[in-house]
Chains A and B, each alone.
Chain A
Amino acid sequence: MNEGRSFRNPDALRKPIYLKLDVIPGTDGSAYFEIGHTKLFVSIHGPNVDRASPVGKINCVYSMAPYSSEERIKKKVNRRSQEISLKIKQVFENIILLEKYPNSLISISVYIISSDAGTRVAAITAISVALAHAGIRMNSLLPAISVGKYSGKILLDLDKFEDMLGEADMPLCYHPKKKEYLLLQFDGQMTIEEIEKSLRLARYGCIMIYVLQQYVLLKKFYEEMGDSSITPPIAKQLLEKSLREFIDAADSEEKSIIETIESIIKTQK
């Protein structure tokens, strides 16, 4: 556990940050995501036939391994995990083009193997790319991140220490094309000005996550085509281009985002 932000800027994501596709055999889509000490697997099954539902349906199960936290997780399903499953399902009901999947069920499973805060947002980030890799039609990829307040400062991507001892925590997921929040939860104490600052910081964090998602999918696509030409500089150019199309970030933010893109791309194994 990190004790405070002595080694990380308030607007920096935790490291390492690593997203990998196609990690569970026998699934239609899967992903592994780690951000700091939060590590999880996601699997997608479907679309499978479900005659009972005329429109497409989503089922989501979020669970934590008993060993994933310092304190052993005794119940696989509890109120918290049920609520997170429900929120994830609702988020993806907005994103997946369910009208394209009549009489079908898409099942999403999330398994947290190491919990260091931000598990629901990490799950949304990973599910989004796993669904894309499974060929499920969606209106966008969906980046998600948490922001919060620790020791009076607004911080991006809280770790467990900051989450537990901080004054506030806000997990969010951002639809980059619609510029809307699809997940918004907040616990703690903040003024309106602090919430405004947090939303801006969350948007900035989501842009970085969004870039990572695109990079990982592009890389996988090129690999599957038997083409290894998606080297980091090419990927960087492609991503910068797509980023500018719809992100109206301020100049200073854009410079920082591009620097982050380079650093994120370098860390993908």
Chain B
Amino acid sequence: MNQELKGQNKKYLLEKLTLEERRLDGRALFEKRKIIVEENIIQSCLDSIIVQAGKTKLIIALTFEFSEPYSNSPRMGSMTTNLDLSFFVPITDFSKKKDIQEKELELTRVIDRGIRHSNIVNFQELCVIPEQKCLNILFDVTCLSDDGGIIDLSIYAINKLILRINSEKIKKYIDLISFLPDEKEFLLNNYDKIFNKEIIFGSNTVAKVDSFLMLDPTSSEEADADCLLSVSTTNDMICSMQKFGVGGISEKEILTILNKILENK
């Protein structure tokens, strides 16, 4: 988007916010987009879903693999989060490709940290044989269409996948994948210890546009924003935060955002 057009968009947005306290898509400042969920679509995964909020659409897949533990955590398993945003970018558009790669990297790290610090994964329970074998949990997020809110939607979907794990899904999965006998046994006996399902875990992103704060911004609102703040929460605790974008954010704004997010949970 060229600078002139971007400036016009921002002007319309600010007019609408000032006059009607509504956003360009008609939402109130702290109103989230409705999330639509499609059921299991990929057979080779333990579980997978397609989620959509507005025009943002993601596929999220959960798979397991066994590997050697890291040397600094020989009695723990591991977790890997991957995010692929390149699906909708033309291969020939190299300049855009670099921006996408940077965005992909930052979002992946934030999603990964959000999950990790929520304590929803019991890493100690992923150890099969100390120093020899552990379970690695893999969350793969593929973005089919990006209209903002990728972090929040990914975390929503990952949470959903975690809550849906049951013995039936595990049995089906181990029949399908060529796990070794001890690995199959481990999964059957331990699947319900891997995740802390009682933790209520979520993420919310707020955009700051001039003096306005907006929950769940679209990509056009993200582009108009001075900065964004993504916040992951568990029950009444904050478990990760990341500020995006070049602009700054004051202490008062940070605390307003945190209070609003916890109120709206």
Residues of B within 8 A of A99 (CB): none
Residues of A within 8 A of B71 (CB): 71
Chain B CB within 8 A of A199 CB: yes
- The smallest C-beta distance from A22 to any residue of chain B, in angstroms, reads 29
Residues of A within 8 A of B229 (CB): 184
Residue of A nearest to B234 (CB): A189
What is the size category of the interface that chain A forms with chain B?
Answer: 20 to 34
- Given A187-B117, A189-B119, A189-B234, verify A79-B105 contact (CB < 8 Å): yes
Chain A CB within 8 A of B262 CB: yes
**Distance, CA A140 to CA B241, complexed state (A):** 25
Chain B CB within 8 A of A190 CB: yes
Residue of A nearest to B117 (CB): A187
- The smallest C-beta distance from B261 to any residue of chain A, in angstroms, reads 10
Chain B CB within 8 A of A239 CB: no
**Distance, CA A188 to CA B118, complexed state (A):** 8
Residues of A within 8 A of B113 (CB): 187
**Distance, CA A90 to CA B105, complexed state (A):** 14
Residue of A nearest to B242 (CB): A185
Chain A CB within 8 A of B250 CB: yes
Chain A CB within 8 A of B200 CB: no
Chain A CB within 8 A of B245 CB: yes
Asked if B242 contacts A189 (CB within 8 A), the reply is no
Asked if B72 contacts A86 (CB within 8 A), the reply is no
Determine which of B72, B109, B258, B259 lies in contact with A79 in the assembled complex, contact meaning CB atoms within 8 Å.
B109
Residues of A within 8 A of B238 (CB): 186, 189-192, 195
**Distance, CA A87 to CA B103, complexed state (A):** 11
- The smallest C-beta distance from A206 to any residue of chain B, in angstroms, reads 12
Residues of A within 8 A of B242 (CB): 184-186
The 0/1 profile, CB within 8 Å of A marked 1, for residues 149-179 of chain B is 0000000000000000000000000000000
- Nearest 4 A/B pairs, CB to CB: A180-B248, A186-B241, A184-B243, A94-B246
